[in-house]
Structure 1
Amino acid sequence: MSFETKLEKYARLIVQSGLNVQEKQTVVISASIESYQLVRAVTKQAYLVGAKEVVVHYSDEEVTRMKYENMEVEDFNHVPTWFSSFRNDYALMNACFLYVDDEDPEMLAGIEPKKISNWQRAVKKACKTYFDLSDNMTNAWCIVGGATQKWANKVYPDMSNQEALDSLWNAIFKAAKIDDEHDPVELWNQHRRSFEKRVNYLNSLNLKKLYYKNSKGTEITIGLNDDYLFAGGGSYLKNGVYNFPNIPTE
């Protein structure tokens, strides 16, 4: 199976199972510029299932790095209105949000930690509506893997650039259950049923505590909260739509 075919199947899985895009729903995608092939494939699949609009927010790691190197610590306390409005407004429109996790693991190595923490704290405050609607299961969101050169070189340091990139994509496809023979959406439906079977079994036990012991002498007892529920895999939104917030997930 060619790379293009695998990418198309991956994109269809993301749209139909990861986000479970509904007709006339807006899809917001955040990704680096290196992931344009995946973004285009997802965009195509989203429109095929009836999405109203697909909005893409690209980032450039080198530009981001230069920003952190050159701006002052206090500058990261301010979130531009366009940025918060972008997230909050689309959240209020019941958009679904896709995040392609493709960053270079060393992108911000050596950057003043205060700059990073200031920005994260400021964004959390300015985009409260966006975060609240994601946390309370109103908006669907999904995080997926995308292969980029620096990440591939980190994982496969002894390979050439192209070999490393191909290997990382193949690892991502394998983890996402993309293969020659099967429909990935149906495979993930089976994955869902497997999760639900185990979750239902664990909840039926009415456990009060978990006890762990090993041959090294460790003994740990963890008490469970009242009215707890085991959960795993995907989840239901408030409107009853089921989606997988992470692909892959175990």
Structure 2
Amino acid sequence: MATAASQPEDRPGELVSREELERYAEAVLHGCLGLRADDALIVQARPEHRDLVGALAESAYRGGARLVEVVYAEAGVRAARLRHAREEHLGTVAPWQLARARAELEPDTCSLTVLGEDERELDGVDPERVATDFRRTAQALRPFARASRQGKRRWTGLAWPTPEWASRVYPELEPLEAERLLARDLLHFCRLGPSDPPGHEGWKRHTARLLERGRRLTELDLRRLELRAPGTALDLRVPAGARWLGGPRRTAHGSVVAGNFPTEENFTSPEAASTEGTFRCSRPLSFGGRVIEGIRGEFRRGKLVRLEADREDDRRLLAATLDLDAGARRLGEVALVDRSSRIGQTGRTYFTTLLDENAAAHIAFGFGFDQARTPDEARGSRGVNRSALHLDVMVGTDDLEATGVTQDGRRVPLIRGGEWQVAHG
């Protein structure tokens, strides 16, 4: 964990040294995306990320990329649309956005999304309008989301500080110092800190361990999962042929891609109709321009039948979002993370799902992953959830207990006292 944010000597006022920024960019492109000569790269970011975007472009072109296309998103534009656009215009997706989404499925195209949002920018927006915009956008992009979960998209999500986001994570610091410390955190989480191996070797070793643990979990051939934590008692079924994933995955085009930078999870897709029991979120959820506290609920026969949150308007936003389609109130993912997670060890909430879901075990409403099944099982009636939604909520705690049950009834401890009981090699 970073404990100090030293000022880069060669670029006063910047977040990290030029060498650290270049190392981060190289790790993203070559340790996550597997960028190849003649590839096209699409980068979606915010204007505050221009230094990182420049480093990504330099690294990509040095690596032989034929094109780097940058799409900047201005946060205030989204907020203005949600506040003032006519109701029938919410969820409008531009034709060129659809064309870009289609291009991202080509085998010689890869894409990055740089996160750094401040959810407070949507304070005061009617939650029903936020949910309507989300539902309509998800439906418009549904074919591309389906192709992505089938492994047809080379994409990585990463994060880089903005002043607003950093001040949310480190409110006790001045904005620039908060940004610097958050940048140090990100390097540490991605195994790019001063105590990690050179280049992105530390990242490669870490993701190799996740791959190996996923292989061992798959070999157990578990048929049921039990999650127990304060406020959480969930039982889930896992079909024959289920796979546990973690770390990089091979796409349908043969590329090896790590979708999250950083990552700490091993996960699978349970049977969508199987979940029984109660859950209570252990961390806030940043969603729809809000930080939602106190999420809790109950499943029966696989479907969410009770949903609560500390604030009623937050509950209404979640409930409206979960009305997207028939699968949105069922689970598509269960992911296990123990307390060795570098993110979890900080004890901080980072107000972005990319980081917070890798701090603790979590479940996800909505779509699951075809790669978490053998091909026959993915096509069958007991295959993955086909919803257009995917919404992660964190349920893990330091005293989480996760137990697997095999076909012959043998109980296998997976996590005890917040620590993995399944070796990674």
Q: Is 2:80 aligned against 1:88?
A: no
2-structure distance, mates of 1:206, 1:155: 40
2-structure distance, mates of 1:178, 1:12: 11
Identify which range, 144-153 or 13-22, moves more after superposition.
13-22
Which structure exhibits the higher relative contact order, with contacts defined as CA atoms closer than 8 Å and separated by 6 or more residues? 1
What amino acid is the match of 1:132? R
Q: Structure 2 residue aligned with 1:122, among 112, 136, 154?
A: 136
Change in CA separation of 1:225 and 1:44 when aligned onto 2, cut-off 3 Å: same
Q: Is 2:174 aligned against 1:160?
A: yes
- 1:66 deviates by 2.3
2-structure distance, mates of 1:189, 1:247: 12
Q: Structure 2 residue aligned with 1:204, among 219, 226, 247?
A: 219
Change in CA separation of 1:73 and 1:113 when aligned onto 2, cut-off 3 Å: farther
Contact 2:224 2:238 in 1 (8 A): yes
Contact 2:211 2:248 in 1 (8 A): no
The aligned counterpart of 1:51 is: 65
Identify which range, 45-54 or 182-191, moves more after superposition.
182-191
The aligned counterpart of 2:37 is: 23
Contact 1:147 1:168 in 2 (8 A): yes
What amino acid is the match of 1:49? G
> Deviations along 1:39-90, whole A, 9 cap, x unmatched?
1111111111111111100011123322322212221143222222232234
Identify which range, 55-64 or 78-87, moves more after superposition.
78-87
Q: Is 2:21 aligned against 1:7?
A: yes
- 1:168 deviates by 1.1
Describe how 1:59-208 pairs up with structure 2 within 5 A. Answer: 59-92=73-106, 94-180=108-194, 182-208=197-223
Runs of 4 or more consecutive aligned structure 1 residues displaced over 4 Å after TM superposition: 211-214, 216-221
**Between structures 1 and 2, the one with greater strand share:** 2
Change in CA separation of 1:185 and 1:217 when aligned onto 2, cut-off 3 Å: closer
2-structure distance, mates of 1:194, 1:142: 19
Contact 1:88 1:127 in 2 (8 A): no
What amino acid is the match of 2:114? V
The aligned counterpart of 1:225 is: 239
Q: Normalising by structure 2, what TM-score?
A: 0.54
Q: Which runs of 5+ in 2 are unaligned?
A: 1-5, 9-15, 265-425
Q: Normalising by structure 1, what TM-score?
A: 0.89
Q: Which runs of 5+ in 1 are unaligned?
A: none
SS of 1:91's equivalent in the other structure is coil
Change in CA separation of 1:209 and 1:81 when aligned onto 2, cut-off 3 Å: closer
What amino acid is the match of 1:126? A
Change in CA separation of 1:157 and 1:206 when aligned onto 2, cut-off 3 Å: same
Change in CA separation of 1:210 and 1:115 when aligned onto 2, cut-off 3 Å: closer
2-structure distance, mates of 1:196, 1:8: 26
> Deviations along 1:1-55, whole A, 9 cap, x unmatched?
9422211111100100221112211111111101111111111111111111111
